[in-house]
Each structure stands twice: as C-alpha cells, then as structure tokens.
Structure 1
C-alpha cells in the first residue's frame, strides 16, 4: 500500500477570513492582477470558477476543485497536471481560513498538502507550499488595504 505524506503550515493575515475565502472560492480571476509576479494567468478548462469538479490551468499546474466547505471556510483541490506531478502520484491541497478574534479584521490560514510520492526519494512539496503561502500573503495584504 502506498504511503501518504502530509505537510502543513499556518500563517496569519491582516484581512478577514471571509474576504480571503471568497477570493479563493469565487474571485480567482482577480488573482493574476493582484499577484502578477507570481501568477501571471489562470484559465478555466472545464466547468467554472467556483463549482466542485471544475478545472483550472495555472501557470505552474492544472488543478481541480474537489470540495468547498463554506461553513468551515475550507477549499480542497487536487493538482492533476504540471511539473509538480513528475514527483507525486497524488497531490491534494487544503486551505482553511479561520477568523482570529471577533473583530473580523484578521485570520489564520492553515495550508496543507497530502501527497503520495512516485519514488521514496522524491522531495516534499515544501517549495510549492511556501510559494502558495507567498501568494496568500500577497492577497491578504491587498485585501487588508482595499
């Protein structure tokens, strides 16, 4: 049986959990405009921007929305194509926005990858996770100043 691995990071953003969740759920077309140095483009390949099962091509990979939990502000996506998949049989990302305090002005983001390596000496997707956290920080900064 294949061994599943998991890495996880937690960061704090100075924007509401609702705003960052909405950006990741329904306003993805805005991300290249806000983070053009990291994400020059995103295109829908199947479905739409918000529905489970929809696929999008980012510059680095192609992913599919697997689940959206609006109550807990969690989005689950599977990477289905791209450079990263040369190391992994499966790679699933989970991003959760958790409100911090009652002021609705800041939040915590818990981002994780669950993955199965193609070969045991394949690297952890730490660089990819850090890249994603950088994008989230840029989006959080933009949302806090908007």
Structure 2
C-alpha cells in the first residue's frame, strides 16, 4: 500500500479566528453569499455538524463546476481544528484517499492564520498533485475573511 502524501498552505488573514471557525462549523453557512467560488454547502444528514456528519459542497475550481461530499472525522473546537475526509466527487477520480485538515490559529486581536493541509494517495502515478486544491482553498479563505474584518 502506498503512503499518504501531504501538502500544506498557510494563509494570514485580517479577521477573528473564532468568527471564521464559527462560520466554517455552522449548520447552514451562507458561504454562497461570501464566496464567488462556492455555490452551496449543505449538511446531508442530521442537520448538524458533528463527527460523522457529511456536507456537500458545490463549487467552481479550475473553471469547472464540481462537487464533493466530505465527512467530518474529528473536531477540536478549543484549537479551532477540523479533519475531514472527501468521500465522493470529481476529485476522487484522481485519489484513492483524500483528507483535509483546517486549523485556524489566532495571531492577534483580529488576525489569524489558516493552515490547510491535504493528505492523499493518488490512484496512479499519472494522477496530478492536488496543488489546485491548495490554491482554491487559500483563495476561498482570503475571500470569505473579507466579510469578517473589524
């Protein structure tokens, strides 16, 4: 079995870490009002955000409409960290396994750093590295952070 590979991006933002994490963990976040990249984000079961719950995201990446379904694997509210596993969607054409971790670290009164990491196993040698997912995520967080500036 191949080992998981890892990529990471860090984004410095001028917004409150708690507000950003709260939006990320909201039952029905109004992300479509905050981001031009994401059209919808909805909870698929139990209408709550807990370990084991799933959400479907409809978005545009690389100029193409896509979707993914993720399952929450772990939530650490104290450290504003969530681990998710992608279980369905366009990305899974290239990867056997795809996990992402989001950690939001307070760096000042109204500033924070988002650490977004991917752990993945490619389907085969020809599958692309998911650098586009990192770029998409960095852009997404920059875009939504504008709505949480003081």
The structural deviation recorded for 1:28 is: 4.7
In structure 2, the gaps of 5 or more residues are 59-66
Partner of residue 78, structure 1:
85
- Counterpart of 2:145 (choices 135, 140, 143) is 140
Would the alpha carbon gap of residues 129 and 49 (structure 1) be closer, same or farther in structure 2, given more than 3 Å must change?
Answer: farther
Give the alignment of 1:24-63 within 5 angstroms.
Answer: 24-26=24-26, 28-35=28-35, 37-59=36-58, 60-63=67-70
Tell me the matched-pair count. Answer: 142
TM-score, normalising length from structure 2? 0.89
Is 2:119 the counterpart of 1:117? no
Would the alpha carbon gap of residues 22 and 53 (structure 1) be closer, same or farther in structure 2, given more than 3 Å must change?
Answer: same
Structure with more helix by fraction: 1
Say what the alpha-carbon RMSD is for the aligned residues.
Answer: 1.3
Structure 1 window deviating more from structure 2 (2-11 vs 39-48): it is 39-48
Give the alignment of 1:61-72 within 5 angstroms.
Answer: 61-72=68-79
The structural deviation recorded for 1:49 is: 3.7
Would the alpha carbon gap of residues 99 and 27 (structure 1) be closer, same or farther in structure 2, given more than 3 Å must change?
Answer: farther
The structural deviation recorded for 1:83 is: 0.4
Give the alignment of 1:7-22 within 5 angstroms.
Answer: 7-22=7-22
Query: Would you identify which runs of 4 or more consecutive aligned residues in structure 1 move more than 6 Å?
Result: none
Contact 1:47–1:53 under 8 Å retained in 2 = no
Task: Measure the CA separation in 2 of the matches of 1:96 and 1:87.
Answer: 25
Partner of residue 2, structure 1:
2
- List per-residue Cα deviations over 1:85-136 (Å, max 9, x = no partner): 00001100101000113x2x00011000000111022111110121111111
Partner of residue 130, structure 1:
135
Task: Measure the CA separation in 2 of the matches of 1:81 and 1:41.
Answer: 16
